[in-house]
Amino acid sequence: MESGGGNLEAAIEQRLNVEKQMRLAGEVAETKKAVTEILQLCFEAKAWKTLNDQIVLLSKRRGQLKQAVTAMVQQAMQYIDQTPDLETKIELIKTLNSVAAGKIYVEIERARLIKKLAKIKEEQGLIAEAADLMQEIAVETFGAMAKTEKIAFILEQVRLCLDREDYVRAQILSRKISPRVFEVDPSKEKKKPKEGENMVEEAPADIPSLLELKRIYYELMIRYYSHNNDYLEICRCYKSIYEIPSVKGNPEQWIPILRKICWYLVLSPHDPMQSSLLNATLEDKNLSEIPQFRLLLKQLVTMEVIQWTALWNTFKDEFVNEKNMLGGALVEKAAEDLRERIIEHNIIVVSKYYSRISLERLAELLCLSIQEAEKHLSEMVVSKSLVAKIDRPMGVVCFQTTKDSNDILNLWATNLEKLLDLVEKSCHQIHKETMVHKAALRG
């Protein structure tokens, strides 16, 4: 073993001299060859400590060539997965990371090293440490990194933040990815780089395709929006997954996703965006495959009062069965919020048919107590989804909107215009009749 060590040291010393001569002469190819040979010798001898020492030594040599450092880091990265134990692996990654730190020409390699180290930390259960490590790297500034690799890296940052329940940072990181990037046709995008432009590296083999990344992105965003119970945004995320060709071509995948779209549409508060999505979903021919959900959405667009108990009895089994579907169960509050949405729908229906209604009758139509009916009505007025006034002493609800002076004046002006128009038409008819009679008398 001693003699082997001595031979290794002698071989390294010999190549170090060669490296020095070539470096000082500015011979790029020969310098690269010398440094990679030194690393190869250490690797073949399984001298991991010597390997780490040589990497640091070579990187710090005076006037070391950028190309030599790049070649050395890339060479040593191939040895990471062949280390004998985890401790050696971490030590090698940390050595390479310290060498690559602050050097733009090896920034992509450093990002990949950090990703490997973060994965090890996560496997050890240190999610917070893994998330902190990943956040050190801002891959969106790397010009030479492939687009898919950048997106995959940012998505990994988002996932780790969600795992540690840091929702604010997860949102900030997710905004680095524009959803429009997934709509680009990759076949049209490939163009030959112009002279002087930086070459973009090919993404590693383990990086998913753009459409796979699209699905991962929206699944992570569903996790984020589920934390805030933002049903409409969850629905839009599922809608984007539903549009992916590989999903739309497979009924086993799109049926559970279309079910989710329907559920979250029903759970979303009533507003123009929800109404637009609701009508668009109803026009989807695939909805005929799940007729119960078509019926559910039809009830929401029909201006009729929905009986909550009847609806719940019809859809309770489907609601419970959702947890066995792709994407898992609905959020915890979903059952309560579903009832809220049905009550809100019923109040809007009543406001369309009545200008004034007693609180007692309103509560009867909603199948609620007077206090509950008043509470729900007040919440809708506060959220500006409805205009109403309650006369509590009289126990009457008025749904008519109060008009301001400008509206009243405009209405008067319109009515006067119509009146004058009628007078003018009448005068014209009288004049016409007089002329006809005069002509008849002359005859």
Q: Label residue 188 by pLDDT band (50, 70, 90).
A: low
Q: What is the mean pLDDT of residues 360-384?
A: 80
pLDDT at 195 over 50: no
In this predicted structure, the answer to whether residue 191 has a pLDDT above a threshold of 60 is no
Number of domains, the chain? 2
**Number of CB atoms found within 10 A of residue 286's CB:** 13
Q: What is the mean pLDDT of residues 356-385?
A: 80
Which of the residue ranges 201-205, 217-221, 233-237, 336-340 would you say has the lowest mean pLDDT?
Answer: 201-205
Predicted pLDDT at 430: 92
Instruction: Judge whether residue 1 has pLDDT over 50.
Output: no
pLDDT at residue 74, rounded to an integer = 78
Average pLDDT over residues 192-220: 70
Q: Among 200, 177, 178, which Cα is nearest to 189's?
A: 200
User: Confidence class of residue 327 from pLDDT cuts 50, 70 and 90?
Assistant: low
Cβ(350)–Cβ(357) below 8 Å:
yes
pLDDT at position 425 is 92
| 190 — pLDDT class (breaks 50, 70, 90) | low
pLDDT for position 3: 36
pLDDT-derived band at 35 (thresholds 50, 70, 90) equals: confident
**53 domain residue, yes or no:** yes
Region 421-426: what's the mean pLDDT? 92
Q: What is the pLDDT of residue 107?
A: 77
58 in a domain, yes or no?
Answer: yes
Region class of 193: left (phi > 0), else alpha (psi between -120 and 50), else beta: beta
Residue 157 · residue 164 · CB < 8 Å: no
Q: Using CA atoms, how far apart are residues 26 and 42, in angstroms rounded to an integer?
A: 25
- Choosing from 82, 100, 118, the residue where a domain stops is 100
Which of 199-213, 356-370, 427-441 has the lowest average pLDDT?
199-213
Answer whether 270's CB lies under 8 Å from 348's CB.
Answer: yes
**Average of per-residue pLDDT values in the chain:** 79
Query: How far is the C-alpha of 114 from the C-alpha of 421, rounded, in Å?
Result: 79
Please state, in angstroms and rounded to a whole number, the distance separating the CA atoms of residues 231 and 190: 37
Arithmetic mean of pLDDT, 160-184: 83
Contacts of 383 (CB under 8 A, 6+ apart): 269
Residue 63 inside a domain? The answer is: yes
Give the pLDDT of residue 422. 92
Q: Tens of pLDDT along 67-96?
A: 877 887 777 777 777 777 788 788 877 877
User: What is the arithmetic mean of pLDDT over 277-294?
Assistant: 82
**Which of 100, 125, 144 is the last residue in one of the domains?**
100
pLDDT value, residue 2: 36
Domain end, chosen from 100, 120, 149, is at 100
Q: Please report the DSSP string for 265-317 in residue order.
A: HHHSPSSHHHHHHHHHHHT-GGGGGSHHHHHHHHHHHS-S---HHHHHHHHHH
Q: Which tokens sit at 65? A: 């060539």
Q: pLDDT tier at 203 (50, 70, 90 boundaries)?
A: low
Supply the range of the domain harboring residue 413: 408-435
More confident residue, 267 or 84: 267
Residue 397 backbone phi and psi in degrees, to 5: -110, 130
Rounded to an integer, the average pLDDT of 215-226 is 88
- The answer as to whether 10 is a domain residue is yes
Looking at residue 6, its pLDDT comes to: 59
Q: What is the pTM for the complete model shown?
A: 0.76
pLDDT of residue 367: 78
- Please tell me whether residue 78 adopts helix, strand or coil conformation: coil
